[in-house]
Amino acid sequence: MATPAEVAQFRTVQRDLVTLALAALARWWAGLDLRSAAEARSAVPAMVAFTGGLTRMYGESAALAAADWYEELRSQAGVRGRFRARMADPAPREQVEAVTRWAAGPLFTERPDPAPVLRNLSGGVQRLVLQPARETVADSVEADPADARWARVPSGAKTCAFCRLLASRGAVYHSEESAGGLARSYHGLCDCVPTPVWPGEEEPYDVDALLEEYTEARAKAGGNPKAILAQMRADLGIN
């Protein structure tokens, strides 16, 4: 079973890759000429190209680390039979382009403002660098003949209501359908780690406590998922 320490260690490896990517982004950003709105806007294609290179390079490393991690945990779990983890591809070009163009939105307003663009872009780069690692775990679980599941393990100081809700279900995520395409549903600054769990193993975090939180919010708010999330945000003082 993945211990909380092993999840934290993997998380550190992933966070370090994000840190390197964001430092490269900030350095490159500092060299851009954004003095006029026209210059800022004409820099968007270069932003797309740079973000693409960055998320490809660091995304590949993230996926490789996730594949190693998966195989290590699997061998620890004592699962029979050989299996190679499925390494996911870096974020596709169209997705990188869509995220970058969204991030650059504040350059296209009446008073163009570059500051939020770097913030948006940093969140997007973090998500896209981690995406191939998260997909590597989800795809490997899917392909693993040993009936693996994955759990969304919260990490970091604060975990948002949406992630807590998904984490409260424990290690139930298997196919894309059962997870509702959740292998990609992470917000920019999300720290959660999809973690494989094999039959007979327990999740490396307190699922019951999160389920209790969810059940309490549901009792107050009713069955509507949006209302439940709002209730959790109000009760727990989180996003």
Rounded to 5 degrees, φ, ψ at 193 are -120, 115
The minimum distance between CB 166 and Zn ion, in angstroms, equals 8
Nearer to Zn ion, 11 or 86 (CB): 11
Q: Could you tell me how many residues of this chain bind Zn ion (CB under 5 A)?
A: 3
| Contact with Zn ion (CB under 5 A) among 129, 163, 167, 183 | 163
Using the contact rule CB under 5 A, the part of the chain among 29-37, 158-166, 177-185, 218-226 near Zn ion is 158-166
- CA 36 – CA 33 distance, rounded (Å): 8
- CA 133 – CA 67 distance, rounded (Å): 8
Using the contact rule CB under 5 A, the part of the chain among 4-12, 20-28, 38-46, 185-193 near Zn ion is 185-193
Residue 190 interacts with Zn ion (CB under 5 A)? yes
Secondary structure class of 196 (helix, strand, coil): strand
Residue 151 interacts with Zn ion (CB under 5 A)? no
CB 170 within 8 A of CB 151: yes
CB 95 within 8 A of CB 20: no
The minimum distance between CB 129 and Zn ion, in angstroms, equals 15
Q: How far from the centroid of its chain's Cα atoms is residue 187's Cα?
A: 7
| Contact with Zn ion (CB under 5 A) among 43, 99, 179, 192 | 192
> Of 209, 215, 217, 212, which is closest to residue 234 (Cα–Cα)?
217
Q: Which residues bind Zn ion (CB under 5 A)?
A: 163, 190, 192
